Every structure is written in C-alpha cells, then in structure tokens.
Structure 1
Amino acid sequence: MDGVNGQLQTKYQKVVSEYSKIRAQASVLKKAVIDEQARSSELKDQLKEKDVSLRRAEQELDSLIFRNQQLTKRVTVLQDELDKMQNKLKKGKSKSSSENKDQPPPPPNHVYVEEFQKKIVENAQLQSIISDKDNELDELSDRIKHLEYKLDLSEKSRIELDSKYQEKIDKLERDKNEILKKLNDRQKHDETVSWSSIEGKWGYDSELKTNLVNHRQTDHSPFSSPSVSRRSSKSASDIRFQKTPEYQDESNNEFEYSKIYELEKELSQYKIDYHILKHKYDELQQKNSFVTHQSDSNTLEPVEISNMIGSLKAPFALPDEVEAREAKIKDFYLREIDKLITEKQIYHAKNLAISATNQVMSVHLDTSEEKRKKCETALLEALSNWSSSQEDKEVQEGSYSTQLSTMTEHLANMNEKLIQQTEEIQQLKYELSNKNGKKGKQK
C-alpha cells in the first residue's frame, strides 16, 4: 500500500511539474500573441497611411489631368489665333503691299513664345512628379508584399505553437484523469479494508459485552449493542459508497465538483457516526459504572468469554479494557475525520487552481482567435482596396501618358510653327527695311 501511494504521489508530482511548465509556456505564448496583435495593429496603421497617400496621389493626378485639359484648350485657342493671324498676314500681303511699305513693321509677338516656354516647363515638372509618384507606388507595393510575408510567417508559427501546446495539454489531462481514477479506487479499497478490520474488532467487543451483561443479569438499553449499530452504519456507508457515481467520462470540472460533494457527504456521515458512538460510549460508561457498583457489593464470579478465536475463562471483567478499546475506536474515527478534511481541502484547492487556469487559457485562446480573424478580414480588405487602387492607377497612368504624348506632339508642332512665323516676320522686316532704304535713296 505504501508503495502504491508513493507511486501515485510521484506521478502526481510529475503532473504538477508538467502543469507548471505548461503554465510558463502559456505565458510565453500569451506574450507572443500580444506581440503579434501589436504587429498587426502597426500593419493596419501603415496600410491606412498608404491608403491616404494613394488617395492624395490620385487627387494630384486628377488635378494634373484637369490642368492638362485646360492647357490643351488654351493651346487650341492659341493655335486658332495663330492661324487667323497667318491668314490676315497673307491677305494683307496680296492686297496692300504698297500701303504696308509706308507703314512701320509690327512688333514681334514675344508673348506667345514666353507662354509656350512656360507650358513646356510645366509639362516637364508634371512628368517629374508622375515619375516620383510611380516610384512611391512601387515602394508601397514592395512594402505591402513584405508585410504580407511577415503575417504569413507569424500565422504559421502561431498555428504550430497552438498544436504543440494543445497536444501537451491533452496528455496532461489524460494523466490527471488516470491518477484521479487510481486515487479513487485506492480510497475505496482502503475503506473496505478498514471497515472489515473494524468489523472484526467490533464483533469481538460486542460478544464480550453481551456475555458480561448476561452474566450480571442486567437489562440492556437500546444502545447496548454497538456492533449492530456499527454494522448498520457500515452497511449504510457501504451502500453510500456503492451509490457514488463515477464521472470519468464527463468533463473534469463536473468530476471535481462531484468528488468534493462526495467528500463532504462522507465527512458529514463520519460526524454522525462519531456522535452516535459518543452517545453509545456515554451509555456504556454509565452502565459500566452501575455494573462496577454492583460488583463491589456482590461477590465476583468467573466469566466465560467466547468469540471467533475460542472461549476464555476470566475471573472477572475488566472495565478499563473496555474503556481503552472505546478510546482507541474514538481516536481512530477522529484521525479518519481529520484525514478526510485535509484531503478535501487539498483537492478543493488544486481543483480550483486547475479550473481557473483552464478558464483563463480558454479565454485567451478565444480572444486571440477572434483577433486573428479580424486581422485576416482587415488584411483582405486592405489587399482588395490596394488591388482596386492599383488598377485605377494603371488606367489613369495610361490615359495620362496618352494625353502627355499628344500634348508633347502638339507643343512640338506649335514650336515649329512659331519658328516659321518668327522667320517669316524677320524676313518681312528685312524686306521692309530694304524697301525703306531704297525709297530714301530715290528721294
């Protein structure tokens, strides 16, 4: 029995040590989950910032497109004006060549040249801004890919840790259930053995007392047969032990609560038995004092004691032996009650600690799972927004590039026309100056 109890104690200590390790690892896992949550929140903030920057870039692109449209309209207006001026110049050459000789030449049109130079500079600035925005978008896409890779790695590590610790927790739960079952069986076995030994002792004592009472020819009271009451209490307790349900297949919390409830019932039953035995003991004390008083007055007669071992002839009964036996029985019950109380308190404290830690772990797992799902949904939304913004950016870039190409071609044509017009104006100036010089010489 001591060897089995020692093995159970060592197994229980191993389970306690494993449980402490699991608690330490659970704290580490909790810290890792908190770090991952902080990282995911940082990633969310970064994604929000990138979305804001993308929106700003889109707004700038829209404003640039609007300005380009205005520029195209302005250029078309200027082109029309230039065409009208060229037509007027051609008509003026054919109709009034003589009148134009006397008039001074018109001043060169420098306003259009300056305006075209400004537009060329603005287009160059717009092209540089577009290239900068493209570079920023490329950097943002690379950053998003890197963050997605980090999220995948953290998710994989979390899943591996969850599976690893879940296996350990399941193993410890199985070991705990087995040890509790063994302890329960061992307690039942010890109780049956103790009841059988006490029954033999009580049978011997009851036979001795009944023989003593019959020899003294005294009336026995309703509490004079302690063996019957003890057997009845034993049978009741045996029935109570047989009726104890086994909750090995149920959850651990229900099993622990049922165990505590059974221990409390057992304690109350032992208290009731103790009070009954105490009452019987007081009755026997009174009876023994009465018998000793009668024996002092009468002559002592020999007493024959018979039990399972055999018969014994004693010159007279010894009340001190009876008192010693009753004191031993009382001490035995008191020790059993104290033992049960201490065991009940120990198991109650352990069960409360285990249930509290299990509840905390389950709550932490549920919260981390919910946060992980929220992070996944937020990441999917951010990715969808990024893909849509990327598509819009590509469309806008295509339209903007086509507009820029048309604008550059148009500006090149306008520059060529301006150069031709300046050359024609200079030629006309030169011709006018020559004509004026010839007229002066003729005069």
Structure 2
Amino acid sequence: MRQPRPRPRLLPLTPRRLPLTAALAALGGLAGCISGDGGTPPDTAPPAVHLQQPAEGQELAQPALQVVGFIRDDRGVQRAEYSLNGGPPQPVALTPNPDGSRSFGFQAALAEGANRLRVVAYDAAGNAGAAERRVTYRPPPPLPAAVEIDPSAFAGGWWDRYGPTYDSNPALADHGVSHTHLYGNDAGYVEYAFTLDRPPGTALATLRARLSSNFPGWSGPADGESDVTVYLNGKEQGTRRVMADNGSGGEYRFALAPADFVAGRNVLRLEVKSGSAKKNGLAIYYRALLPGFVDTPISIAFSAQPLPSFTLEPLYAPGAAAFAIAQGADALYYFKINRQNGFDVPAQNFESTGFTGSILGTDLNRVKVTFRKDLSSGDRLAVVVQAGPQAPLGEHAFWAEGRGGGVGSSPAAVNLRVVACSSGCR
C-alpha cells in the first residue's frame, strides 16, 4: 500500500527569532544604510570660519583690533569663541544672515609686537572649525618735546626799511605796550634755529606765535596788514594774513608738515614777501610787560595724528521696492554721515579713495567712495558697489578701511541696506 507523502513543514512567521528571518532583517538594515533610506549619517564636517578683518600680517599703530567675519555650516552653528596669543577663550556674539551664515564683529586688545588671533566655531555635533590671523601692533614712537623759541634770539634776518630789531625797554609799558617784541618794517624775514632729537614722524605739528603787522612807533598806516609766510627748512608751510594790533598782537597758528622736520638743526623762517599785496611789516611779541599778560614765546607743539572716524547711515526711499544686486552689475547707494571725531574732513582727503569690503561674506571687487563737497555732519556721499554678489533685502554687515591722503586711516563698520534707490535717496 502506498504511503501518503508527508506535508512540508513551514517556518512560522515569527518576528526575528529564527536564523533566516534575522539574517534577512540584518541584510535589509544594511541595504537601508547603504542606500540612505535607513537614517542620517553622522555630522563630521566642521564649520567654515571666514575672517574678513584683519588681514594676515597686518600692522597696526593702535592696540584696538577690529575683527569681522562670518561662519557657514550646513547644519547650523552652535557657538563661537576667540582667543588672542593662546589666552583664555572669549565668547563671540553671532548674528544670523538671510543666507544661513552667521556674522560676527568684535574688538580685541593687542599686545605690543606680534599677536596671533584664533576664532573657533562649533556646530551641534561638536565639530570645531577655526581661522587664524597674525597681526603686529607697533605703537608710534614718542612725540618730540615741544619747542619754545625766544623771538629775540634770531639766527638771521633782513627787512626793507629797518629791522630785525628787538625792543625790550620796560618804559614801553608806560605807553600800553603789553610785551617786548622783535620787529621789521615793510617786507623782509627773520629766521630762528632749533634742535630736535628726532623727527615727529606722522604727528601733527602746530606753530604758535603772537604777531602784529605793526608795532609801537612805526610810521606807516596804523591799519596796515601783512601776509606772513612760514618756511621750515626752506619749505613753504603756509601764509596767514596778520592784522595790525599796535602794542599787544594776537595769536596766530600755522600747521607744519611733519615730513619737513629733520633730526638735529632745523630753521624756521617768518617772511613778509616783497611781492606780497600786504607788506606792512611784522612784530613778534614775547616777554609780558603789563599785569594780566604772560610770556608768549614762539612755540611748536606736537600731537598725535587724529584718524578720520565717522559712521554712515543708509538713505533710501521709504516704501521703495527691494532689488538684488545682479552679478557683475553696478548699484549706487547713498549714505549720510552721522558724526565724526570732532572735526570736518575736507573732501580732498578722501576723493576717489578705493574701498574694499564684503556683503554676506563675498568679497566685492571694488567699492568707490566720492565726496561732492567738504564733509560735515548730515552730508551725503555716494557709494558705488561694482561687480558685487547677489544680496537680498535686509541689513548686512559691510566692512571697509578708508585711507585719506596724509590724514591717516580708520576702519568704519557700515550697515548696508539693499533697497531700490530713487529720487528719495539722492
């Protein structure tokens, strides 16, 4: 008799307890990891730190270091810090940008000599990215001591009619004359020699002298004026019109070019030129003769060169439609000067000055700033951004360092608002 065939035994459908089921599950998990369907790979990419300011190897004459930059990370920046010369880390405040990057700006105090700045950024996974800059702080040399010159101690001189003559008669006080004085008539000059142990470098140098275009007993017109020109080591420094003030004089100031000083012997000349339209003569007052007056030697004082400093406020038409800067296109922005460091900056100091900077971390090819007239609070200036990157509407950090002709340099942080510019912003 034929025996019935035994029925096949099937594996039970149980979760991952049997060897074949577990193996298939493991293979499925591996395939999922390979294909990317089974989860997100770990974040191992560090944030990218970009330092826009300072430049590598930059030298500064002041200890305050301005630091500006931005950080990019695909999954977000958690925090940032900086250290100087290996010192303890300091926190850095971050500002989010529309493109997902984060901007920062802070000031650090440099030590004299070489310095190493390090900025480190961290993402949520703990990855760290860093950027470094090496800068040098070289303080300017000490200023020379102020110079005082006795007007009677002239080294040479000549005048058309008479002089140079120094009158120190105490009886002058009986006639209301306030000071002893050196004088010369009509056109001529007087020279003084003085010594410096070192030139002043870029420091400001200011000459002060108590002058008058006439003097007691002079026989010319009582209200005659003189154009007085100052020379330093044979180089003309400027001309001032000196008024007649018989008996006391008034203080006059002349700016002297620092580059025209030399170490050692220097020669100062005060001259009324023979071809000048105003050549009434010159008196230089010195020792006080009357109560309430003080001695007034010729003096030259040196002071640190002030750096031009100002803040810029964007001007734009309210309600104007926003636009983006097209790659390679030119865009014109107008800014207003809010304030400066206590003095007006003549236009010639900054005209056609080249600026470099960045918008959203992308370097601009060139930013040119032109001033139409002398700058004072509330004046406007045009900023042309050439071949810039695309920049969406909003506030963006813009960093520029401007250099004025012979005046020094100063960094200026500017908030740039990208807006359409119409007649309302001109």
TM (norm. structure 1) is: 0.19
Q: Which has the higher strand share?
A: 2
Structure of larger gyration radius: 1
Q: Which has the higher helix share?
A: 1
TM (norm. structure 2) is: 0.20
